[in-house]
């Protein structure tokens, strides 16, 4: 087993985690985090899989990934601006068509019962 | 070799563990913090793989600026409605777990198959390295970005500009957000700014200058400058301004404009677009790209069309 | 001999960073955690930088490593101060575990 195999497996696991997060998360910011994880997994594959030249990664995929990193931060920033706007309009940050805001209150009530949840909530709710 | 594989496995486990915390953590803010840690672990892995350009870019952009943008967006949500901003809203579903596992299996299969396949004798990277001397550059990644695949970089700068304009359209009507941290007026914080700012500018110029021959370049330099822009915003040295001005607009379009010149000037001389114009032109384009990257990302963080001087 | 010294310092540095991390994860409140993080981690980083400087054996690299340590020290000082200040404004220290 070589280092490449380890990193391919890691990329696959991260991609799977990203897919899971994207499918189950209701909060848009969580979906964005999951998408960014998937992007990182793709970047890792792009660098690890091509043959190395003189012990260094192939420069062409390196340049592609560098471009990808900048594109990822641009699109994330745009998506975050969209999310803030949506939040202002509809009062919550979900885009599931089947999520009812009244039910969100219920879900929140249930999850905020944990002690850590209370601890991290911050000054806003108190 | 054995020690190497142990280190690789440890790095892979750390990365996957951090990704799991990001994807499955119960707290949104916690997930964001773990995402920053994930970006830094990613930078370490790039360094291990020998991709120093990517290590620099991922540490500055992937971890630093994406994390800062996420945190400031989260703070805006909390400012509007703290209860809903942190609502969990995650639904557990067996189908999602199955789909995720299948996808991961598929990616692993494709990746491992690609690793074991016979390699083509002549890859694009080898052609780049063979022709790199014609450009006078020593860093093949910079060569690909500016010479061999310059169109990609032009489009990339256009995407950055479009993302900025789109964000402005979305947040145009909302009032300017406060981005300063509590305690920004302390002398200690002023000292930090006074020490870090000149160093950051120096490091950015260094990265820009050596980018031609060594790891570094416009994106990394721009990200370092954007990071100091975020620091200046957090400490109230710079404040968001309500109206855009000519300087801000010029800085935002500088990257696209300079790369467009690289495309158009050879055309006017009857040569193919993006024909190589010499090393000076590349440095000019890189400087313009650095300014654009730095200003766009700082303004995206500020959520404002321009900046003005705050307290001195 | 120098290699051995560097190795010892590297391991000691790793120990301090590890102790700082354990402290951050296990200690009860913000102030204790800051205490563990700033002190143990900065010492650990200094030891690691020194051992790397010994291994490199070049003045330029030594100065760069020193600069890295000073920057990390500055950043951790200011951030620890701000976190503690913010935390005190929100919830004054009681002296008891929370």
Residues on chain A touching B293 (C-beta within 8 angstroms): 70
pLDDT of residue A119: 36
Half-sphere exposure in the Cβ direction for B74 (13 Å, CA):
22
Number of domains in chain C: 1
Interchain pair C81, B181: CB under 8 A: no
Q: Is A93 helix (H, G, I), strand (E, B) or coil?
A: coil
Interchain pair B196, C82: CB under 8 A: no
pLDDT of residue A122: 36
> Please, which pLDDT band fits residue B257 given cuts at 50, 70 and 90?
very high
Chain B to chain C Cβ contacts (< 8 Å): 26
Taking all residues of chain A, what is their mean pLDDT, rounded to a whole number?
78
Two tokens at B283? 């440095």
| pLDDT above 90 coverage of chain C, percent | 33
Interchain pair C85, B195: CB under 8 A: no
Q: Which residue of A has its CA nearest to B35?
A: A33
Taking all residues of chain B, what is their mean pLDDT, rounded to a whole number?
87
Interchain pair A3, B129: CB under 8 A: no
Interchain pair B189, C71: CB under 8 A: no
For domain A3-114, the CATH architecture is Orthogonal Bundle (1.10)
Q: Is A94 helix (H, G, I), strand (E, B) or coil?
A: strand
> What mean pLDDT do residues B277-292 have?
87
Residue B310, min C-alpha distance to chain A (Å): 24
Convert the pLDDT of each residue in C43-72 to its tens digit: 999 999 999 999 888 899 999 999 999 999
pLDDT of residue B294: 94
Is residue C16 within 8 Å of residue C43, measured between CB atoms? yes
Residue B69: count of CB within 10 angstroms of its CB: 24
For A73, the closest of B16, B89, B297 (CB atoms) is: B297
Residues of C numbered 30-59 whose beta carbons fall under 8 angstroms of chain B's beta carbons: which are they? Answer: none
Measured in whole angstroms, the distance separating CA B263 from the mean position of its chain's CA atoms is 24
Per residue, the 3-state secondary structure of chain B, as one string, reads CHHHHHHHHHHHHHHHHHHHHHHHCCCHHHHHHHHHHHHHHHHHHHHHHCCHHHHHHHHHHHHHHHHHHHHHHHHHHHHHCHHHHCCCCCCCCHHHHHHHHHHHHHHHHHHHHHHHCCCCCCCHHHHHHHHHHHHCCCCHHHHHHHHHCHHHHHHHHHHHHHHHHHHHHHHCCCCCCCCCCCCCCCHHHHHHHHHHHHHHHHHHHHHHHHCCCCCCCHHHHHHHHHHHHHHHHHCCCEEEECCCCHHHHHHHHHHHHHHHHHHHHHHHCCCCCCCCCCHHHHHHHHHHHHHHHHHHHHHHHHCCCEEEECCC
Per residue, the 3-state secondary structure of B213-259, as one string, reads CCCCCHHHHHHHHHHHHHHHHHCCCEEEECCCCHHHHHHHHHHHHHH
Residue C96: count of CB within 10 angstroms of its CB: 7
pLDDT of residue B143: 84
In angstroms, the CA A125 to CA A117 distance is 12
Which is nearest to C46 in space by CA: C18, C78, C14, C5?
Answer: C14
Q: Is C57 helix (H, G, I), strand (E, B) or coil?
A: coil
Q: Give the best residue of B51, B96, B175 to mutate against chain A (max A CB count within 10 A).
A: B51
- H-run or E-run covering A22: helix A3-24
In angstroms, the CA C31 to CA B194 distance is 27
Q: Kindly list the domain boundaries of chain A, sorted by start residue.
A: 3-114
Residues on chain B touching A59 (C-beta within 8 angstroms): 125, 128-129, 140-141, 143-144
Residues in Cβ contact with B132 at an 8 Å cutoff, skipping those fewer than 6 apart? B138, B140, B143
Two tokens at B230? 């975020």
Q: Which residue of A has its CA nearest to B2?
A: A2
Residue linked to tokens 């803010």: B29
For A85, the closest of B5, B99, B170 (CB atoms) is: B170
Convert the pLDDT of each residue in A61-104 to its tens digit: 999 999 999 999 999 999 999 998 888 888 877 776 555 555 45
Convert the pLDDT of each residue in C10-19 to its tens digit: 999 999 999 9
pLDDT of residue B158: 94
Interchain pair C78, B188: CB under 8 A: yes
pLDDT of residue B94: 86
Residue B185, min C-alpha distance to chain C (Å): 11
The answer to whether position C58 is within a domain reads: yes
Four-point Cα dihedral A78, A81, A83, A87, nearest 10: -170
Which is nearest to B150 in space by CA: B169, B167, B128, B168?
Answer: B128
The two most distant CA atoms of chain B are separated, in Å, by: 62
Residues on chain B touching A16 (C-beta within 8 angstroms): 100-101, 103-105, 107
Is the CB of C88 inside 8 Å of chain B's CB atoms?
Answer: no
Residues on chain B touching C75 (C-beta within 8 angstroms): 192, 196
Q: Which residue of B has its CA nearest to A82?
A: B170
The answer to whether position C98 is within a domain reads: no
Query: Residue A121: pLDDT above 50?
Result: no
């Amino acid at each position: 087993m070589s280092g490449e195999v380890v990193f391919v497996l890691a990329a696959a696991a991260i991609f799977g985690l990203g897919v899971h997060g994207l499918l189950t998360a209701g909060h848009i910011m969580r979906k964005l985090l999951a998408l960014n994880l998937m992007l990182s997994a793709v970047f890792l594959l792009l660098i690890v899989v091509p043959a190395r030249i003189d012990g260094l990664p192939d420069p062409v995929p390196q340049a592609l990934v560098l471009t990808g990193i900048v594109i990822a931060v641009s699109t994330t920033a745009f998506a975050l601006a969209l999310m803030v706007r949506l939040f202002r309009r509809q009062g919550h940050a979900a885009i599931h068509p089947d999520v009812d805001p009244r039910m969100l209150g219920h879900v929140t009530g249930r999850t905020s019962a944990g002690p850590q949840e209370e601890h991290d909530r911050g000054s806003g709710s108190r | 070799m054995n020690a190497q594989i142990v280190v690789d496995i440890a790095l892979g486990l750390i990365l996957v563990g951090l990704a799991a915390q990001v994807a499955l953590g119960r707290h949104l803010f916690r997930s964001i913090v773990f995402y920053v840690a994930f970006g830094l672990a990613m930078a370490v892995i790039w360094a291990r793989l020998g991709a120093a350009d990517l290590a620099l870019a991922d540490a500055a952009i992937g971890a630093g600026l994406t994390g800062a943008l996420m945190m400031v967006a989260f703070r805006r949500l909390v400012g509007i409605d703290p209860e809903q901003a942190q609502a969990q809203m995650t639904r557990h579903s067996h189908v999602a777990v199955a789909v995720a596992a299948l996808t991961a299996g598929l990616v692993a299969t494709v990746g491992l198959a690609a690793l074991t396949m016979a390699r083509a004798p002549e890859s694009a990277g080898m052609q780049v390295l063979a022709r790199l001397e014609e450009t006078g550059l020593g860093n093949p990644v910079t060569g690909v970005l500016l010479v061999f695949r310059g169109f990609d970089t032009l489009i990339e700068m256009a995407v950055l500009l479009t993302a900025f304009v789109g964000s402005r359209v979305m947040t145009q009507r909302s009032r300017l957000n406060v981005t300063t941290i509590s305690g920004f007026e302390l002398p200690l914080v002023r000292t930090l700014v006074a020490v870090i700012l000149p160093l950051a500018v120096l490091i950015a110029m260094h990265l820009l200058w050596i980018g031609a021959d060594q790891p570094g370049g416009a994106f990394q330099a721009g990200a370092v400058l954007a990071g100091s822009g975020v620091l200046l915003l957090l400490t109230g040295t710079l404040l968001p301004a309500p109206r855009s001005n000519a300087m801000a607009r010029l800085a935002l379009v500088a990257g696209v404009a300079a790369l467009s010149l690289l495309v158009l000037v050879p055309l006017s001389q009857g040569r193919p677009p993006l024909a190589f114009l010499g090393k000076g032109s590349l440095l000019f384009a890189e400087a313009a790209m650095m300014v654009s990257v730095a200003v766009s990302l700082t303004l995206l963080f500020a959520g404002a069309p321009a900046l003005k001087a705050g307290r001195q | 001999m120098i290699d051995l010294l560097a190795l010892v310092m590297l391991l000691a540095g790793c120990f301090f960073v590890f102790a700082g991390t354990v402290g951050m994860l296990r200690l009860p409140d913000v102030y204790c955690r800051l205490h563990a993080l700033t002190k143990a981690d900065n010492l650990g980083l200094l030891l690691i930088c020194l051992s790397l400087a010994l291994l490199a054996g070049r003045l330029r690299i030594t100065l760069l490593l020193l600069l890295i340590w000073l920057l990390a020290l500055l950043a951790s000082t200011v951030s620890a101060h701000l976190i503690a200040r913010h935390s005190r404004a929100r919830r004054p220290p009681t002296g008891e575990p929370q």
